[in-house]
């Protein structure tokens, strides 16, 4: 029986590895080979057979005490064990899938999720940009225009058109980088390195990183590099980007709200203009649907469309919020709200009026709170839908009186509603994104309204000198360069604390979490934390503790888990922790 148990342990270890590989592939749209699925089912069946044999063996041992042994039954069990050992050996041999465990995925282009371009104005701009990209004179192109005008949409369409051409390819490599507001040279280098699969070390300085990027791009020969959402100029050579020339055939395109960046970057400037009134009206009608065809609503709808400043993003969000509304009184009220709000803004600030209107039109407080939660993530962050819904559940936004499945379904319903009104956009099957202007609007709301949030996500902070407000309910410090947290914040109302994606090594003193008695979600994933403060044990209301990829974590406060009486989820994927019931320390 010992031999059977040993071999079964080997088989189960192989089973777990293969199962993990299959699940990982399924997340990316793959599927297991039929023979792999059959093998997994056979292992599960074998596990049940071995479990039955073990139970019979233990019963036989008990029956033998004080009685003559039943040799017939023993021989039967022994013979059965030998048969099972042979079958387990065969499964172990058959589990060596040298050609992989999943069906090969179809060839995937690096197409980016986007929506079609709307209006002749945008089509003409796209054609102008494309002519510059494919021509020989302009090597660096600067696409500029106000926020929400459609710069990113146009460039994504161009990227997809060029990258999916099967014949007469113009470029060998297409690279899309979202730069965003808070990025410096080093952070931009790391974004490019990630896209190019360059092994960048934490201690690589800017010169070392530039050499790696330069050599990687040179190997790719003719590249098209698109730097989306630039807020300040960069020296291409300092970053490691070869200067585009007629000889190397490379091109760089940047998008920015600030035309002033184009000059110092030696970029040929192309403006993305707002839609014409006719184009805006056609786009608005397409978003809202057939209700505006009725005469008593059409003139009101036209006036509402005009208040969107001819900006595609504003038209999309306002139109989404009014979709299906067939009551003229509601349209009149919406027009009144937009006119009054627009009267108080000038210039680019007017963009926020229709966005704030769409937020208000959500109506349901639950929808609004779930939407505001998304602003905790950094600009242009791909937000996992599963993670987001779980956070809504654990923070208590979704009523937990139903089953786990009921709560998840409710989360997907909320997510779908936010996507339909264009407050969020789908990014593949597993992620959503928030437009940077919509995120700016959400952050602005959280500064003045409940739930109060402190959001420093993706700001490249190295230390935290500011004190948190006592009434803060959500704090996000994720994706920064913070190595140490100190003090004893008094945040009695805090529900969610994001600290993930920081080189965080130490939280001190041990009493750091003493005054966060309401905390429900704590994320320390992808940090360098070596030990958890003892005060974590005092987080009586904590429901989710995330410690994924905390490879340096070695010490847990003794008896922490029993004290976290409301804890529902503890994730430690990719960590090196092994439980020790005696010391609270890891065992290697």
pLDDT in 10s for each residue of the chain, 588 residues: 778 888 888 988 999 889 888 876 665 446 788 888 899 999 998 888 888 887 777 776 665 555 555 666 667 767 778 888 889 889 989 888 887 877 764 434 577 888 888 889 999 999 999 999 999 889 999 999 988 889 999 999 999 988 877 544 788 888 999 888 767 888 888 888 888 888 777 777 888 889 999 988 888 788 999 999 998 888 999 999 999 988 888 999 999 988 999 999 999 999 999 999 999 999 998 888 766 667 788 889 999 998 888 889 889 889 888 888 888 899 999 888 888 766 544 444 567 788 888 888 888 899 999 999 999 999 889 999 999 999 999 999 998 777 889 999 999 999 999 998 889 988 888 999 998 888 988 998 888 777 789 999 988 888 877 788 899 999 999 999 999 999 899 999 999 999 999 999 999 888 999 999 999 999 999 999 988 888 999 999 999 999 999 988 877 777 788 889 999 999 988 877 655 444 444 444
Burial class (CB in 10 A: 0-12, 13-18, 19+), 248: middle
Measured CA to CA, the distance from residue 128 to residue 154 in angstroms comes to 11
**Tell me: the pLDDT tens digits for 328-353?**
899 999 888 888 766 544 444 567 78
Domain 365-444 has CATH 1.10.3720.10: no
Which residue pairs from 501-505 have beta carbons closer than 8 angstroms and sit at least 24 positions apart in sequence? 501/525, 501/526, 501/527, 502/477, 502/478, 502/526, 502/527, 503/202, 503/527, 503/528, 504/528, 504/529, 505/529, 505/530, 505/552
CATH fold for the domain made of 277-360: Helicase, Ruva Protein; domain 3 (1.10.8)
Q: Find, among 389, 328, 323, 382, the residue nearest to 358 by Cα.
A: 323
pLDDT reported for residue 453:
92
Backbone angles phi, psi at 426, to 5 degrees: -70, 145
Domain 452-588 has CATH 3.80.10.10: yes
Helix 185-195 / helix 206-219 crossing angle, nearest 10 deg: 30
CATH fold for the domain made of 120-271: Rossmann fold (3.40.50)
SS3 142: strand
Cβ atoms of 195 and 240 within 8 Å: the answer is no
Percent of the chain at pLDDT above 90? 36
Backbone angles phi, psi at 546, to 5 degrees: -110, 120
State CA 230 to chain mean position distance.
Answer: 21
pLDDT reported for residue 503:
93
pTM of the complete model: 0.68
Measured CA to CA, the distance from residue 463 to residue 445 in angstroms comes to 25
SS3 531: strand
């Amino acid at each position: 029986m010992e031999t059977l148990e040993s071999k079964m342990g080997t088989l189960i270890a192989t089973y777990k590895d293969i199962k993990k590989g299959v699940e990982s592939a399924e997340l990316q749209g793959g599927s297991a080979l039929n023979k792999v699925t059959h093998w997994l089912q056979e292992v599960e069946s074998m596990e049940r057979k071995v479990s039955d044999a073990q139970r019979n063996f233990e019963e036989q041992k008990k029956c033998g005490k004080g009685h003559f042994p039943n040799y017939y039954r023993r021989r039967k069990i022994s013979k059965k064990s030998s048969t099972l050992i042979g079958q387990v050996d065969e499964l172990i041999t058959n589990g060596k899938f040298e050609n992989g465990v999943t069906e090969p995925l179809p060839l995937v282009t690096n197409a980016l999720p986007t929506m079609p371009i709307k209006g002749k104005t945008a089509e003409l701009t796209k054609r102008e940009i494309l002519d510059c990209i494919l021509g020989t004179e302009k090597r660096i192109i600067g696409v500029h225009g106000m926020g929400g005008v459609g710069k990113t949409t146009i460039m994504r369409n161009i990227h997809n058109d060029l990258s999916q051409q099967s014949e007469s390819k113009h470029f060998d490599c297409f690279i899309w980088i979202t730069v965003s507001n808070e990025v410096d040279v080093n952070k931009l280098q790391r974004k490019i390195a990630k896209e190019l699969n360059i092994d960048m070390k934490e201690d690589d300085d800017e010169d070392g990183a530039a050499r790696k990027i330069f050599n990687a791009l040179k190997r790719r020969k003719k590249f098209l590099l698109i730097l989306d959402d630039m807020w300040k100029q960069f020296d291409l050579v300092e970053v490691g980007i070869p200067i585009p020339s007629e000889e190397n055939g490379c091109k760089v395109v940047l998008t920015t709200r600030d035309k002033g960046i184009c000059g110092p970057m030696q970029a040929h400037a192309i403006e993305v203009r707002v839609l014409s009134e006719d184009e805006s009206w056609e786009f608005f009608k397409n978003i809202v649907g057939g209700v505006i065809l009725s005469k008593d609503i059409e003139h009101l709808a036209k006036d509402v469309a005009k208040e969107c400043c001819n900006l595609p993003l504003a038209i999309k969000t306002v139109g989404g919020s009014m979709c299906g509304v067939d009551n003229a009184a509601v349209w009149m009220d919406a027009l009144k709200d937009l006119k009054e709000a627009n009267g108080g803004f000038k210039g680019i600030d007017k963009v926020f009026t229709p966005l704030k209107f769409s937020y208000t039109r959500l109506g349901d407080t639950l929808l609004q709170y779930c939407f505001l939660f998304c602003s905790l993530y950094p600009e242009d962050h791909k937000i996992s839908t599963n993670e987001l819904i779980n956070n809504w559940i654990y923070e208590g936004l979704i009523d937990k009186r139903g089953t786990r499945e009921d709560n998840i379904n409710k989360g997907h319903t909320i997510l779908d509603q936010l996507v339909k009104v264009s407050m969020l956009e789908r990014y593949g099957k597993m992620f959503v994104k928030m437009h940077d202007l919509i995120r700016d609007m959400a952050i602005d709301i959280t500064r003045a309204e409940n739930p109060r949030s402190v959001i420093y996500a993706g700001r490249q902070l190295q230390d935290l000198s500011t004190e948190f407000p006592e009434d803060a309910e959500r704090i996000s410090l994720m994706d920064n360069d913070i190595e140490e947290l100190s003090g004893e914040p008094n945040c009695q109302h805090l529900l969610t604390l994001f600290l993930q994606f920081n080189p965080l090594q130490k939280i001190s003193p041990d009493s750091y979490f003493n005054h966060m008695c309401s905390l429900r979600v704590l994320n320390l994933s992808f940090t360098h934390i070596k030990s958890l403060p003892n005060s974590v044990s005092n987080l009586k209301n904590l429901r989710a503790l995330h410690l994924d990829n905390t490879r340096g974590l070695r010490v847990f406060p003794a008896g922490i888990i029993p004290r976290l009486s409301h804890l529902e989820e503890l994730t430690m994927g990719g960590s090196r922790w092994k439980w020790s019931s005696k010391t609270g320390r890891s065992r290697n």
